[in-house]
Structure 1
Amino acid sequence: MADALIKKIVTTLIWSVILTLYAYGKVSREFKKAIDKYHETQYILLRNHSYQSIQIR
């Protein structure tokens, strides 16, 4: 009885760790994509701004 309970607890812990790491990996990938997109947008805005300032002169 006790052995089965311990085994069940250990299995649950292992699965929770695996799922947590998996979820963390997915979140960090999405976060990285969002940061890349942000930098890309900033670069485009900066480039457009410098292009416009060249045209004004």
Structure 2
Amino acid sequence: MTEDQTYGGDEPVRTGVPAVDAVLDDVDTAADLPVDEQVAVFERAHERLRRALDGQADEPS
């Protein structure tokens, strides 16, 4: 864990990987959505994370 990562606090966790951190930001906003809209956010997050792991993170979503 790096110095700027905090679990259970108010600060979001950062990985240092811009593509992954952008997905985490989107997932953080899902908590403010109705449950039926959260599914789409998580599905997009899953796809974006898969692309990031495949080295294709800079392609548009």
Q: Which has the larger radius of gyration?
A: 1
* Larger RCO: 1 or 2 (CA < 8 Å, sep 6+): 2
TM over 0.5: no
Pairwise TM-score range, normalised by the shorter structure: 0.3 to 0.5
Q: Is the helix fraction higher in 1 or 2? A: 1
